[in-house]
Amino acid sequence: MKFAQDIILTPVITENSMDLARNQKKYTFKVAKDANKIEIANAVEELFKVKVEAVNVINCDGKMKRMGYTRGTTASFKKAIVTLTKDSKTIEFFDGLM
């Protein structure tokens, strides 16, 4: 059984994600790689007490990096953009950052 804290890892704080949160009620989170859309929606509803309308998921591959002769990749991750319903309240964590 997965807990909501294991599914939602961190919020993504960028200019683009903050504009989406302010204007369209879309919030961006870094999520567990094995989580699906239904689990992500349930976790956001449980953690933040809001109503989720839609979830879009993006798999982000790691980038090739070099330091001298050594080559490697950065870690890959999964990102979710969660859209809230019109009558739902906003997520208070993001309100403090705007």
Q: Which domains does the chain have, with CATH numbers?
A: 4-85 (3.30.70.330)
Is a pLDDT exceeding 80 seen at residue 88? yes
Q: CB-based contacts of 21: which residues, under 8 Å, 6+ apart?
A: 27, 28, 90, 91, 94, 98
Is a pLDDT exceeding 70 seen at residue 40? yes
Q: What is the pLDDT of the chain when averaged over all its residues?
A: 92
pTM: 0.87
Answer for the pair 28, 50: CB distance below 8 angstroms, yes or no.
Answer: no
